[in-house]
Amino acid sequence: MKVSQETIHERSKLAFTAIGYGGAPIGNFNGTFTESAAADMVAQSWDQGVRYFDTAPGYGNGLSEYRLGHALRTYDRSQLVLSTKVGRVLTPSLNAPNQDGQYQNIPPLVASFDYSYDGVMRAVEQSMQRMLTDRFDALFVHDCDRFTHGSGQPEYFRQAIVSAFPALEALREQGVVKAIGFGVNETDVMTEAVKTTDSDLCLLAGRYTLLEQEPLDELLPICAERGIGIVLGGVYNSGVLATGPVVGARFNYGPAPKDVLAKAGRIEEICGRHGVALPAVALQFAYAHPAVVSVCIGARNAVQQRRNAELFETPVPQEVWDDLRTAGLIREDAPTPAA
């Protein structure tokens, strides 16, 4: 497989490269970038053949959007696919903290959740200005899940369905965007969202991986049946499938628990038996499902980004998939790459 391999999403006619560029790191996630270093990351991904670029207002209070938009300004807009997200409105405030969770040295803006119709319209206009564009290819309703909102999630989700999504439908009708849907971290929330709306495309982060295959039960079959494309994020489960079960390995943004480390170790042992790296298998497994149009990867530096491309293009013997299935480490109904 090649990074530049394209999947044409039938509903939107958008052409997605197998690997997409994940913009969270250049929003200063878990570390800082200079403006030139951020631009270099985008340029390197383009040179690798990547033509799908994803970001969000929540990635460093608009910093990722700003940097990505400025870095892409010199490229032919018709040759790339660009997505961002709605659900947060950014308001200038000189007294705003310069850190938000794992995002560091961020602009003096206050992010507020707003899934209202008007809030979505404001958010899209703000994103256009930061990114120097008059349109988006895809827009996702972002983070209307329990991980983000806790006990308040049901009301935020209701607002996302009855207000935010109709706003995206209006923008789709106006030609401002071609594909609309949701970007969340939880399978059941995504399943309910696609059942309730006429989504074209969704971004599921961290839930369909070598370690987690619950979306095979209902979500992915629904998407395949209705032609809803899936962009996968977090296919390394935020670390452990990239590093293996090492000391300090991360899983879902926290320390990996013992059972996860043990399972990752068993998968890594089978990969090693056939001379392939665990992250190569993780990347290629995620992309193999027919509903998946792209695997979106965020890299922290040029070396890591180059390595991800190499891993995706590494040949994986059929015996790896056979052994993983025999060991019960991937489900019987999980698609794997063709020989």
Could you tell me the pLDDT band of residue 24, with boundaries at 50, 70 and 90? very high
- Which residue of the set 85, 103, 145, 208 is catalytic? 85
Which tens digit of pLDDT belongs to each residue from 40-75?
Answer: 999 999 999 999 999 999 999 999 999 999 999 999
pTM score over 0.95: yes
Instruction: Please tell me the predicted confidence (pLDDT) of residue 338.
Output: 83
- State the average pLDDT over residues 287-303: 97
Mean pLDDT (the chain) is 97
Instruction: Please tell me the predicted confidence (pLDDT) of residue 339.
Output: 60
Encoding tokens for residue 280? 């190569």
Cβ neighbours of residue 136 closer than 8 Å, sequence gap 6 or more: 82, 83, 84, 124, 127, 128, 176, 177
Separation of alpha carbons 311 and 66, rounded Å: 29
Encoding tokens for residue 56? 């969000």
3-state secondary structure 80-117: CEEEEEECEEEEECCCCCCEECCEECCCCEEEEECCCH
Q: Taking 70 as the threshold, does the pLDDT of residue 112 lie above it?
A: yes
Which tens digit of pLDDT belongs to each residue from 169-194?
Answer: 999 999 999 999 999 999 999 999 99
6-327: what fold? TIM Barrel (3.20.20)
Could you tell me the pLDDT band of residue 117, with boundaries at 50, 70 and 90? very high
- Which residue of the set 54, 114, 137, 323 is catalytic? 54
State the burial class of residue 118 (Cβ atoms within 10 Å of its Cβ: 0-12, 13-18, 19+): exposed
- Which residue of the set 52, 59, 208, 236 is catalytic? 59
CA 137, 202, 279, 323 dihedral sign is negative
Which neighbouring-strand residues pair with 109?
92
Separation of alpha carbons 197 and 204, rounded Å: 16
For residue 131, the number of C-alpha atoms closer than 13 Å in the C-beta half-sphere is 28
Q: Where are the chain's structural domains?
A: 6-327
- State the average pLDDT over residues 103-129: 98
Instruction: Please tell me the predicted confidence (pLDDT) of residue 1.
Output: 87
Instruction: Please tell me the predicted confidence (pLDDT) of residue 142.
Output: 98
54 has catalytic annotation:
yes
85 has catalytic annotation:
yes
Which tens digit of pLDDT belongs to each residue from 202-229?
Answer: 999 999 999 999 999 999 999 999 999 9
